[in-house]
Amino acid sequence: MKLALFNDFRLGAVTEDGIVDVTAALPYPHDPDPVTAGWWRALCRDFPGLATDLKTVAEAGTPVPLEQVRLREPVLNPSKIIACACNYRDHVEEMHAVQERTLGHVESWMMDFDVFLKSPSAISGPTEDIVLPAEVVAAGQEIHHESELVIVIGAGGKDIPEGEALDHVLGYTIGLDITVRSAADRSRRKSYDTFAPIGPWITTADEAGDPADFEIDLVLNGDDHRQHVHTKDLITPIPAIISYASRMMTLLPGDVVFTGAPPGVGPISAGDVLETRISRLGDMTLRVR
């Protein structure tokens, strides 16, 4: 299934003909308030048992064209965003030059794979603009796009073995890990509001297929094809990311995991248009202001 949130955070199933409202098929009352909407995390946890009912309602319903709804970010109140650093070799390679240019030296500890946290309040939806912070622009610091495969956690867990990791995935979506290049902690440089656009929907794991077989692309302003990568080239594959992160922190239903930047990161400016797409998952077009 393709699960979307739209309008006042109603649950939709995206079909070839549009979006079907499946909110009424949930065993929880609809709560449009993102602050109290625990129903979303319950859905992430309970999806395998609800999938049949949701699919039945989706097939019986009348799709509304996607242009007639406001698609929201397809995640709600995640307890955390976990993000991977240095997960494609060619990106690690290019970061030497990026750091020489933006820091004046190379931070060797930043050249190894690891995970870090990004603030959930940075999340924005597929129709929202990316807003460049005035103070960062005024300081002349570069702000970069990182176009990434994003995992949404279904059943949570601690110390998850690699062999069971994919059982903990609700599905996959597209995200941009927007990043200031400066000498500050990653959590600050990557947590400004709108620095985590996510969407346009979640393709559930059963439909998405092999997570080591996605192609990620990012095109700037219609003709500048900046990023292209295949997820088979991840240094730390999806099951290993989940297992590794779960050794540090309990993964909770609805948690969001950015899997790492492809090579081709680069600066964005006000007025830019970013088109990011992942095979089988969809695409998003986002404006920068």
**Chain contacts with Mn ion (rule: CB under 5 A):** 146, 177, 261
Short-list 203, 2, 1, 26, CA closest to 10: 26
Q: State the pairing for strand pair 273-278/282-287.
A: antiparallel
Least distance CB 148 / Mn ion (angstroms): 6
Measured in degrees and rounded to the nearest 5, phi and psi for residue 55 equal -65, -40
H or E stretch at 162: none
Q: Whose Cβ is closer to Mn ion: residue 66's or residue 261's?
A: 261
**Strand, coil or helix: 208:** helix
Least distance CB 174 / Mn ion (angstroms): 13
**Which tokens in the block code for residue 246?**
């779960």
Least distance CB 146 / Mn ion (angstroms): 4
Least distance CB 176 / Mn ion (angstroms): 9
Q: Whose Cβ is closer to Mn ion: residue 2's or residue 145's?
A: 145
Q: Whose Cβ is closer to Mn ion: residue 58's or residue 281's?
A: 281
Rg (CA), the chain: 18
Question: Closest residue to Mn ion, Cβ-based?
Answer: 177
Q: Whose Cβ is closer to Mn ion: residue 177's or residue 255's?
A: 177
Residue 69 and residue 241 in contact, taking contact as beta carbons nearer than 8 Å = no
